[in-house]
Amino acid sequence: MKRRLALLLALGALRASLLLAADGRDEELLRALAVNRTLLERFESEFSLLEGASPSPVVVGELENLKTKIRALKEESMRLQADLTPEEQARDFLEEVVRASEGDRKTKLKRSEAAATRAGTLHERGLRLVAERRLDEAASVYEEITLLDPDDDQAFLILGHVRLLGGRYEKAAEAFGNAMHIDPENVGEIVPFYDNLVLQSPDDDQARANLGYAHLFTGDVLKARECFKEALDQNPENPSAANGLSVIDEG
CB of 236 closer than 8 Å to CB of 219: no
Q: Is residue 152 part of a domain?
A: yes
**Model pLDDT, residue 85:** 63
Is residue 181's pLDDT more than 80?
Answer: yes
Residue spans of alpha helices (H) in 132-204: 135-148, 153-165, 169-182, 191-200
Q: How many residues does the chain have?
A: 251
Q: Is residue 137 part of a domain?
A: yes
Q: Is residue 111 part of a domain?
A: no
CATH (domain of 223)? 1.25.40.10
Where among 31, 62, 84 does a domain terminate?
Answer: 84
Quick: pLDDT tens for 83-94. Answer: 766 656 555 555
Q: What is the pTM of this model?
A: 0.56
Q: Quote the mean pLDDT of the chain.
A: 77
Decide which of 130 and 144 is more confident: 144
Q: Is residue 245 part of a domain?
A: yes
Number of structural domains the chain divides into? 2
- For residue 197, give the nearest of 233, 224, 161, 245 by alpha carbon: 161
**Model pLDDT, residue 59:** 77
Quick: pLDDT tens for 58-78. Answer: 778 888 888 888 888 888 877
Q: Is residue 226 part of a domain?
A: yes
Rounded to 10 deg, the angle between the 169-182 and 153-165 helix axes is: 160
Where among 84, 99, 132 does a domain terminate?
Answer: 84
- Cα(151)–Cα(147) distance, integer angstroms: 9
Range of the domain at 230: 117-250
Q: For residue 204, give the DSSP letter.
A: -
Rounded to 10 deg, the angle between the 153-165 and 135-148 helix axes is: 160
Q: Which of 4-18, 76-90, 160-174 has the lowest mean pLDDT?
A: 4-18
Q: How far is CA 39 from CA 36, 50, 66, 71, in A?
A: 5, 17, 11, 12
Q: Is residue 151 part of a domain?
A: yes
- Same domain for 173 and 130, yes or no, is yes
Is residue 81's pLDDT more than 60?
Answer: yes
